[in-house]
Amino acid sequence: MTMEQHYFAPAPAPSQKVRCPVSAILELIQRTAVIKPHVLRVNVLTLGNAILAGILVGIGTYGTRYRHRAFVRALFQGATTLFLPILSYVVSSASATVSTFRQSTPGYIGDPSEIAFNFGCDASKHLFIDLIWAGLVNIVGIITCTMVAATDREGRNIGLPMALLVQAIWSCYLVVSLRPQIEAFLEIPYMLLPTIFALFFAKMALRYYAFLKARRSVALGHNPPLIVGYIEQLHKGSRYCIPQTVEHCPPPLVVTGEHRHDVVKVPHGFFFKRLHHNQDDSMTTMSNYSGLVTVDKIWLSDNKILTSAPWLKDVCLSFSLFKLLRCRFAGYSVAEAGFQEAYSFFLHVLLKDKDHERVYGVITDELSFLHDYYYSSIPIHYSNFWLPMLNIFVSLLTIIYCLLLARLGIPEFITDMEYHSAQVHCWISCSAYGHNFNGYYDRWSVRFGNIAFDAVPVAIVVVVVVLAEAREIATYICSKWTKVGLISYVVNNHDKWQGSPSMQEWIGRVLRCRCKLMKHWDDKMNQCSVLVLHPRRSDPIVSLISRLLHLPDRKRNVKVPRVVKAAIVDALRSNNNNNGFLADPATFLRQSLEDRSGTFLWASDGEGIADIILMWHIATGILGVRRQHQQPPSGDMIVATHLSRYCAYLVAYVPELLPDYDKWSKGLYMAVKKDSMRALAGRAARPAAESEYDKLVSLLQERAENEVLRNGVKLAEKLEREGEEAAWRLLAGFWSQMILYIAPSENLNGHADAIARGGELITFVWALLMHAGIARRPATGERV
């Protein structure tokens, strides 16, 4: 604590000089001695609350990927619970330091004058910055919160975040109640405080209105039952198509425009009132009417933008398929959801196309739409055409506010830091008026606390708000939801906008705009292995955190190679060339090795799928050691090794997406891995002349005890005798068929969680199979 003595006027003669009484100086020291540790405690809590705000913002932004972990959910709940009480304590403590009083004491003996001293403390900037910080955190909270309008059958309705609303209301109360204390000394305009909360409530009101509008809309909230009813209407008549135009009829699946037409409730959902049968029993679809846009209407359009950028048609197809997928998540069957309507087109147009990336893009866009709908607030704003524009306007106002705050606040705080950089300023001044004195006075002051504790968190949150709002604006401009809406507008108003070249140019620019920031599908596949060939000593703290978060211990996340995508699509195409039959592992081996029947069939027999996967994974890993120093690897080797390690990852960490009981699968993986680590522990002691492959095989033969591990070594030896090229070709085919075989699943929640955390390759294959007419896996030897 430092004391400063200030004289604001020339001092009188020594006999007349005013001095603060000792009692006044002691009063200043006593009061500041109480306040100083209080400010220190407030700074610690402010820093802690900044960390809590970071947790809330971080989990709010990326929490969909990690909220399936109990630790992350507990962390978020704790941060939500503690944030508001700490904020209230910090603000109330700062408010308590702002106090003034006046006291008089007699002057010198025999002098009728009196010496009056005034005591005061100023923490207005401290209060102002804390409340600004609270308002900015609320802004970030409403930007990152998720509001989902879905049917009760989907079970994913998420409404207004009440904790955020209560937090904002309480912060507003603090702003109103502390206004006199803040305005008394503050040089920055006080209106900056209520403005930030006005922006917050404007954004919240818009979101809540959009949520209510979306919940009532048949295009969003009630879309699954409408699609089911529409499919039922399609089944009662002939589909509208122009077969002379295209080889295979595009499906008349709904893209947009449902809300423009009257619907009626029926036992299985909603029917369009204006959809009817003609006298010749053919059915005219709603694509003939203004407003409703279907896939066939877009596909047959001769619009210049759509013909110059065919991928935009694929985006609309993905959007219509996303609506079918929502029906599955709402509990409707594959037949009720209408996947058969897209089956023929998907089979004879997309799967016959040699462009594997196109097929992959259609499915990943479909799953990205699903991710947006269930795990973000973007879709609800498309319940009305002006809502995105209004949200962009409010976001721009927020950015302008942040820039204005920085413009007004930075010079003030730089000046403040230059002179004393204090959070709290307390002083006592003494003055005397009377016979011998003429207004001379004495002043003592104390400053403590560092303004950086307040200014730095605010500066960080200002940057976060600007970036978040800019990202939200980019989302509306570059989002594929916007593209689908614009394409529908172009198709429905083809003649109207054709005469406006400037409108064509602007719409074309927006439609062709691509932004990787909006991509939710990772296009990655996890890799892990039972064979720990290069063990590393891990940090104990990292190991503890990994166990706490249940993170995979040896996992790599790699981009899905193009050859892997091609192998999966080619395997599905070959199944469909075989009348759409999906083969189990034994059937595939029997078909692939007709001339050597029985050589590998024993390796397709196990207690479940997990032990077969691990057996072939071990064999693939052993053969990979033989080829690890030979470059470059063949396409078959890339396919086999990547899919082998991915399937091992599924067994170890996502067993709920596999056919077997998940606890059994995970336990089997751990047992095989433990035995592998024990068997390979003495690898360094083997003769140096022995090759890496020979060391590995001999050690596993001698020391392996687990049956799956021993069978994997045996399988590797048999594959090695087939010759390198033939072995890798067989392995690539086996793993391509295996990923198809294990993908069909009724575990919708498991796939929803996978989509939330950025996607799994098996989820992509699961959706791909549904569109190809395969909704379940066959029993052994069965053909479906």
Q: What tens digit of pLDDT does each residue of 136-195 get?
A: 888 888 888 888 998 888 888 888 878 778 878 888 887 787 777 666 556 667 788 888
**Cβ pair 146, 377 in contact under 8 A:** yes
Q: What is the pLDDT of residue 426?
A: 76
Compute the distance between CA of residue 305 and CA of residue 296 in angstroms, rounded to an integer.
17
pLDDT, tens only, 99-148: 544 444 444 434 445 666 677 777 777 778 878 888 888 888 888 888 89
Q: How far is CA 690 from CA 456, 610, 713, in A?
A: 61, 32, 18
**Cβ pair 286, 275 in contact under 8 A:** yes
H/E stretch holding 445: strand 438-448
For the chain, what percent of residues have pLDDT higher than 70? 71
Compute the distance between CA of residue 667 and CA of residue 564 in angstroms, rounded to an integer.
28
What would you report as the CA-atom Rg of the chain, rounded to the nearest whole angstrom? 35
Which of 82-96, 215-229, 493-507 is the most confident on average?
215-229
Beta strands in 192-335 (DSSP E): 254-256, 263-266, 269-272, 276-277, 283-284, 293-294
Name the percent of the chain in helix, strand, coil, to the closest 5: 65, 10, 30
Distance of CA 466 to the CA centre of its chain: 19
Compute the distance between CA of residue 120 and CA of residue 103 in angstroms, rounded to an integer.
12
pLDDT, tens only, 37-92: 777 777 787 777 777 777 766 666 665 665 556 666 677 767 767 776 777 777 66
Q: Which residue has the tokens 């249940």?
A: 550
Over residues 231-250, the mean pLDDT reads 61
Compute the distance between CA of residue 157 and CA of residue 159 in angstroms, rounded to an integer.
6
Q: What residues have CB less than 8 Å from 408, skipping those under 6 apart?
A: 188, 189, 192
Q: How far is CA 58 from CA 53, 85, 182, in A?
A: 8, 20, 31
For residue 41, report the phi and psi dihedrals to the nearest 5 degrees.
-65, -40
Compute the distance between CA of residue 630 and CA of residue 642 in angstroms, rounded to an integer.
17
pLDDT, tens only, 527-564: 999 987 665 554 555 555 555 555 545 567 889 999 99
For residue 283, report the phi and psi dihedrals to the nearest 5 degrees.
-110, 130
Question: Helix crossing, 311-329 with 480-492: angle to 10°?
Answer: 110
8-state DSSP, 443: E
Compute the distance between CA of residue 272 and CA of residue 285 in angstroms, rounded to an integer.
10
**Cβ pair 641, 527 in contact under 8 A:** no
Pick from 200-204, 267-271, 751-755: least confident: 267-271
Three-class SS of residue 582?
coil
pLDDT, tens only, 314-337: 899 999 999 999 999 998 888 888
Residue 628 pLDDT > 60, yes or no?
yes
pLDDT, tens only, 258-285: 887 778 887 777 888 766 444 444 444 4
Q: What is the pLDDT of residue 21?
A: 67
Q: Which residue has the tokens 């052994």?
A: 780
Maximum Cα interatomic distance, the chain, rounded to a whole number of Å: 128
Ordered by start, the domain boundaries in the chain are 2-11+39-103+113-145+156-216+389-471, 223-383, 562-771
Beta strands in 623-665 (DSSP E): none
Instruction: Calculate the average pLDDT of the chain.
Output: 77
Pick from 192-206, 405-419, 469-483: least confident: 405-419
Three-class SS of residue 242?
coil
Beta strands in 90-171 (DSSP E): 100-106, 114-122
pLDDT, tens only, 703-731: 888 899 999 999 998 888 888 888 999 99
Report the candidate in 627, 648, 629, 650 with the shortest Cα–Cα distance to residue 637.
Answer: 627
Confidence of residue 493 (pLDDT cuts 50, 70, 90): confident
- 438-448 and 524-527 strand pairing: unpaired
Q: What is the DSSP string of 1-33?
A: -EEEEE--S----TTT-----HHHHHHHHHHHH
Q: What is the pLDDT of residue 645?
A: 94
pTM: 0.82
CA angle 122, 124, 130 (to 5 degrees): 135
**Cβ pair 115, 430 in contact under 8 A:** yes
Confidence of residue 689 (pLDDT cuts 50, 70, 90): very low
Q: What is the pLDDT of residue 419?
A: 53
